[in-house]
Structures are given as structure tokens and as C-alpha cells.
Amino acid sequence: MKFAVLAAVALALLFGAKCIAVRKDLVSERQAIDGDWEQVNTALQHRAGLLPDLETLVRSDAPAQAPALQAVDEARIALSAASGQNEKIKANARLDQALARLMLQIENNSTLEAGKPYGDWLEALKAADYQIAMARRKYNEAVEHYNAGIDLFPSNIVASLARLRKVDAYFQTPAI
């Protein structure tokens, strides 16, 4: 009888330790997602910081592009004002679209496109877009790993008890 009680206590302690370890891992993964999101956010802010330079170039060398430039500026402001991950992702998609339209119009304006300041700015934009892509990939991988872990036993039970939910803020690659 004592053996059965001891075995049950040992099993309960083992299960409790496993649950604690699983919760610790899930919380750690969630914190990694938050850290990866900060990298994405920093990259987005860096790219948005490049846009006033484009504004200066366009206003002086291609004033006919003012409406498209206004759309980029409004999208940049919306990105800065967005608070949550989903809002920032949507605002960034809007900025991507507005910037793509402006860039297409600039391509049709050979005087601006041929200039060195624009070429330098374009290189800086490419570097910023690369940083966004790398941060986005790392963030999405962390989200996928975390969400997959929550679906597995016993993590699903521990996550439910600890009120750890799936992350639904995937940062999609813009369609070109």
C-alpha cells in the first residue's frame, strides 16, 4: 500500500515538474517572439526614417509626384501611430503599396531616377528592406514554432491552464 502511495506521489511530482518545465519553455518562446517583434519594429522604423529624404528629393526634382508622395507620407504616419502587432503589420502593408506606387512613378521620371542622391537613397532603402525581410523571417519562424508547440501534448494542456494563447500576428511578405 505504501508503495502505491509513494509511486502516485512520485508520478504526481514528475508530472508537476514536467508541467513547470513546459510552461517555462512556452513563456521563454513567447518572450523570444516579443524580442523578435522588436527587431521587426526597429527595422520598420529605420525604413520609415528614410522616407523624409525621399520626400525632399521628390519635392525638389519631381513635384508632379506630390499626390503619390502624400500617400506615402500618410502611410508612414499611420505606421508610426499603430500600436499593436496586427496594426503595425497592416500599416506596413499600406506603406509598401504606397511606396511601390511612388517608385513606379519615379521610374517614369528619368531626371530623378538618374541622380546620385536618389541612387544612394535607393541603396539605403534596399538595405532597410533586407533588414525587414530578415527580421520578419525570424519573427515568423518563432511564431510558427511557438504555435506548433502549443498544439502538442502536454503543452496544449499547460498552455490552456497558463492562459497562453497562439500568436496570430504573422508578418506576410508583400505581394509584388
| Range of lowest pLDDT (53-57, 81-85, 143-147) | 53-57
The H-or-E segment that residue 16 falls in is: helix 2-61
Spatial neighbors of 97 by CB under 8 A, at least 6 apart, are 75, 174
Q: Which three cell numbers stand for residue 2?
A: 505504501
CATH number for 2-162: choose from 1.20.1440.20, 1.10.760.10, 3.30.1490.20, 1.10.3720.10. Answer: 1.20.1440.20
| Cα–Cα dist 69/35, whole Å | 32
Q: Is the pLDDT of residue 49 over 90?
A: yes
In degrees rounded to 5, what are phi and psi of residue 77?
Answer: -65, -40
> What is the overall mean pLDDT for the chain?
86
Interval 117-131 mean pLDDT: 91
* Type of residue numbered 136: R
- The reported pTM is 0.81
How far apart CA 65 and CA 71 sit, in angstroms, is: 10
C-alpha cell at 15: 508530472
Q: Which amino acid is at 116?
A: K
C-alpha cell at 132: 525587414
Is 1 a residue whose pLDDT tops 80?
Answer: no
**Could you give the angle at the alpha carbon of 156 between the alpha carbons of 153 and 160, nearest 5°?**
150
- Per residue in 11-40, pLDDT (tens digit) is 888 888 888 888 899 999 999 999 999 999
- Of the segments 87-91, 109-113, 151-155, 162-166, which one has the largest average pLDDT value? 87-91
- pLDDT at residue 66, as a whole number: 76
